[in-house]
Amino acid sequence: MGKSRKCAGPAWPTAWVARVVALASPTELDTVDVIDTAPLPGTVTPRDAVPTHIQTGTARQIADERAATIGEFINNRFGGVYINEAQSNRYQPDVLYRGFVASPLLGNPIGLSVFIDGVRVNESFGDAVLWDLIPQAAIESVNLIPGSNPVYGLNTLGGALTLRTKSGRTSPGVTATAGFGSFGRRDLEASYGHVDGAFDAFLSVERQKDDGWRDHSPSDVRRVFGKLGWSSGRTDLSLSLTHADNELTGNGLVPESLYRQRREAVYTYPDLTEPRLSFIQLAGSHQLDAGWTLSSNVYYRRLKIRTANGDAEFDDDGTVRQPAAGHPEPPDEGGRALEHRRPVLGREHRQRGR
């Protein structure tokens, strides 16, 4: 008796043909917008459009904090930031963010860039940052942007700190504050903003004095900031001036034996730094069609620093000791305690040693 069998053909040819048809149809991907930040004024980028953690401070927070410098403010308010005062002066801190530093001390490996209204204020010599020259009463906002970004220039390895100044349009009216604190600290600042049609003006004046917690360590900070602005439709222009004339004393280390006797003691003095800054900036922006903005700035910045350092070695008759050429003088291992006084640059100078 014969048997009949039915065999089903393989299903893979049909599936393979269906896959070929599916791959042949075009696939459309969503549009990806790449947004980056820029330091120039007028190039406003929404915070939620920047793919990183930006920490922000406002003028109100700066006023409430009463910090000596912007560096001290971000240390108190922002995460990942800490400071030290290796220069023995609160107006000259080293600011470190994630291990990268912005410091007034030459020789430090600078890894942070600081901008004021789009102008990089790291000094041309050594990329140092002089925090005492920043007009704190005139700062409208502070943004700390992490990461290495070539938009912010060389040595922006750890991040950038961008500061925007006030104007008569953003900060109208009169404000004045005064304060005092430990170690002879006295603060006084006043500002005035006014708007008249398309024109606006802003002026701030600051004075901070501090005797320091150590002997012979006073500081005097004087800053003035002014800005004139004009706005008409899609065009903004501003002309600003910053002037600072400061006296900062940061005396050096003391021997451990002297430190144990009196914490406030200094070994030699003065170690005086007198920075004087004149900074003029002209900035403008114009909104073009299709969401484009044209921004530019021109600035003149002149910094002069005078120093007086008491770390010199004197003989008993007041002359500076100079070892003979090729014969370095061995250290004095005697037990004499010496003290020498003489005027230096119109100030009393004292040299002590053993």
In a domain, 287, yes or no: yes
Return the pLDDT at 25: 62
In a domain, 227, yes or no: yes
Which residues is 276 bridged to in the sheet? 245, 304
Query: Is the separation of the CB atoms in 165 and 116 below 8 Å?
Result: yes
For the entire predicted model, the pTM comes to 0.75
Neighbour count for residue 152 (Cβ, 10 Å): 22
Residues 144, 70: Cα–Cα separation, whole Å: 11
In a domain, 51, yes or no: yes
Tell me if residue 73 falls in helix, strand or coil.
Answer: helix
Return the pLDDT at 24: 55
In a domain, 90, yes or no: yes
Domain count, the chain: 1
Return the pLDDT at 306: 93
Query: In this structure, what CATH number is given to the domain that contains residue 241?
Result: 2.40.170.20
Query: Any idea what the Cα angle at residue 26 is, between residues 20 and 28, rounded to 5°?
Result: 140
Residues 281, 226: Cα–Cα separation, whole Å: 11
In a domain, 20, yes or no: no
Q: Any alpha helices (H) in the chain, and if so which ranges?
A: 12-24, 59-65, 70-77, 256-261
With tokens 């070994």, the residue in question is: 267
Rounded to 5 degrees, φ, ψ at 218 are -80, 160
Outline where DSSP puts E strands in the chain.
55-58, 81-84, 94-97, 100-102, 112-116, 119-120, 139-146, 159-165, 173-181, 185-196, 199-210, 219-232, 235-245, 247-249, 268-269, 271-287, 293-309, 338-344, 347-353
Return the pLDDT at 167: 95
In a domain, 204, yes or no: yes
In a domain, 337, yes or no: no
Return the pLDDT at 268: 86
Return the pLDDT at 106: 87
Measure Cα distances from 289 to 35, 148, 271, 292 in Å.
Answer: 19, 31, 56, 6
Tell me if residue 162 falls in helix, strand or coil.
Answer: strand
Return the pLDDT at 339: 46
In a domain, 331, yes or no: no
Sheet holding 338-344, edge to edge: 268-269, 347-353, 338-344
Query: Is the separation of the CB atoms in 288 and 296 below 8 Å?
Result: no
Residues 166, 280: Cα–Cα separation, whole Å: 15
**152, 54, 51, 142: which is closest to 110 by C-alpha?**
152
Residues 40, 294: Cα–Cα separation, whole Å: 10
By residue range, what is the domain housing residue 95? 47-309
- pLDDT averaged per 10 residues, the chain (length 354): 50 49 65 60 62 89 93 95 90 94 91 94 92 96 91 88 95 94 92 96 96 92 97 92 95 89 89 95 90 90 90 57 50 41 53 44
Return the pLDDT at 340: 47
Each residue's pLDDT tens digit, 323-347: 545 545 444 433 333 444 555 555 5
